[in-house]
Amino acid sequence: MGFRADFNSQYSLLEVLGKGNFGVVWLAASRHDPSHQVAVKILPKVREDKSREETLACIKREVALWGSLSGDSRYVAQLLGLYEDGGSVYLVQQRCYGDLATAMQSGPLSEPCAAAIMWCVLSAIRDCHDHHLAMVDVKPQNFLLTSPPLALPAAEARAEAAASVEAGAPPSAKAGAKEGAGARREAAQCACPVPLLLAPEHQAAHTAAHGPCVVACDFGCSLSYSELMRGGRHGGSPIFFAPEQFSSSYGLGVDVWAAGVMLYLLLSGRYPFWDCKREDIKPGMKPYEVGGGVGGCWWGPRTWMWYVNVPH
């Protein structure tokens, strides 16, 4: 493939960070500077469902798409090096701290936390689209935390904190009440694995100074604009599919739909469409019948109305 063959002289593998459908991600350290840690995605050159030539073509394609973004977008995990040996390919990337899906296993996130995360998610999507590339597989599993996550609270602690906020009030409704504002800040902070910044200008300034709180990864399902025009492929996760992805062609807008599903999941802890089978999801996409309502999540119906204009 033309990649470097000296991985073992450059890095030492430390521990497994995660396993995917096609490879294993390791934490590794530079042999020249052990304090410099990276993540290494190790992909076999042969898969059970593909020939060696097809597997290598898929890897080359993903690396090309990822490489076209890495360096140009700070909202994409940085690709630091490419190595190979007789049986595997080693993709060296910036060290991250788990994916967003793992970080939110304790339950839904607060609105400020979801806002900080979605700023980065939508910025990553924007940068992909600026490169005439559709991510196609936008979901929490494909966004990595750039710093160790804060501890998420137990459900009862989260519920107790949420109870201190006036039911159904918009975020600024009790700004004048010191006790209520403090409760909201505490509730938001204890339910968030990333730094909290509400105002867009503050989020932009923080990102410029410290980098994004999450970055996009895994471009195996991504499609260039020319591929979309030719009909594309139907990769990705059906629960995040836009309606047009069930037809023969679709465009860049599918990433925006998936981001909306992701926001719903972050705030409510559940999917808006419950059916897991691909053929059963599309019939569930009925106007204004999303997941049977938004009960059980942190945010009240009035706050929901601030985000979307749902007719009655």
- Banded model confidence at residue 150, pLDDT cuts 50, 70, 90: low
Bridge partners of 95? none
- Answer yes or no: do 112 and 79 share one domain: no
Letter for the amino acid at 284? G
How many CA atoms are closer than 13 Å to the CA of 189, on its beta-carbon side? 6
Whether residue 7 lies inside any domain: the answer is no
Whether residue 119 lies inside any domain: the answer is yes
Residue 271 is classified by DSSP as: -
In this structure, of 11-20, 123-132, 238-247, the range with the lowest mean pLDDT score is 238-247
- Answer yes or no: do 164 and 230 share one domain: yes
Whether residue 299 lies inside any domain: the answer is yes
What phi, psi does 231 have (nearest 5°)?
110, -20
- Answer yes or no: do 20 and 150 share one domain: no
- Answer yes or no: do 296 and 222 share one domain: yes
pLDDT of residue 120: 92
* Helix residue ranges per DSSP H, 211-284: 225-229, 253-268, 278-281
Q: Does 41 show up as a binding residue in the annotation? A: yes
User: 10 Å Cβ neighbour count for 119?
Assistant: 20
Q: Model confidence over 90-112: pLDDT tens digits?
A: 999 999 998 999 888 878 888 88
User: Where a domain ends, among 45, 68, 94?
Assistant: 94
Pull the structure tokens for residue 286: 């009925």
- Answer yes or no: do 108 and 216 share one domain: yes
- Answer yes or no: do 167 and 229 share one domain: yes
* Helix residue ranges per DSSP H, 169-300: 178-190, 200-210, 225-229, 253-268, 278-281
Whether residue 8 lies inside any domain: the answer is no
Identify the H or E element spanning 158.
helix 155-163
What phi, psi does 32 have (nearest 5°)?
-85, -25
Q: Which residue has the higher pLDDT, 180 or 145?
A: 145
User: Where a domain ends, among 94, 126, 154?
Assistant: 94
- Answer yes or no: do 106 and 36 share one domain: no
- Answer yes or no: do 258 and 295 share one domain: yes
Q: Model confidence over 14-41: pLDDT tens digits?
A: 999 988 778 899 999 999 999 999 999 9
- Answer yes or no: do 183 and 281 share one domain: yes
CATH number for the domain harbouring residue 227: 1.10.510.10
Tell me the C-alpha distance between 59 and 225, whole Å: 19
Domain that holds residue 292: 100-307
- Answer yes or no: do 212 and 292 share one domain: yes
Letter for the amino acid at 54? E
Whether residue 206 lies inside any domain: the answer is yes
pLDDT of residue 75: 94
Tell me the C-alpha distance between 89 and 190, whole Å: 40
User: Where a domain ends, among 94, 124, 152?
Assistant: 94
Identify the H or E element spanning 117.
helix 111-130
pLDDT of residue 165: 36
- Answer yes or no: do 236 and 126 share one domain: yes
- Answer yes or no: do 145 and 253 share one domain: yes
Whether residue 4 lies inside any domain: the answer is no
User: 10 Å Cβ neighbour count for 87?
Assistant: 9
Whether residue 1 lies inside any domain: the answer is no
Q: Which of 257, 263, 254, 255 is nearest to 303 (CA)?
A: 263
The answer for residues whose C-beta is within 8 angstroms of residue 19's C-beta and 6 or more apart is 25
Planar angle of CA 98, 65, 260, nearest 5 degrees? 55
Percent of the chain residues past pLDDT 90, beyond the cut: 38
Whether residue 6 lies inside any domain: the answer is no
CATH number for the domain harbouring residue 39: 3.30.200.20
Distances in whole angstroms, Cα of residue 306 to Cα of each of 1, 292, 301, 310:
51, 19, 9, 10
In the chain, count H helices and then E strands.
11, 9
Domains identified in the chain, total number: 2
Q: Is the pLDDT of residue 162 over 70?
A: no
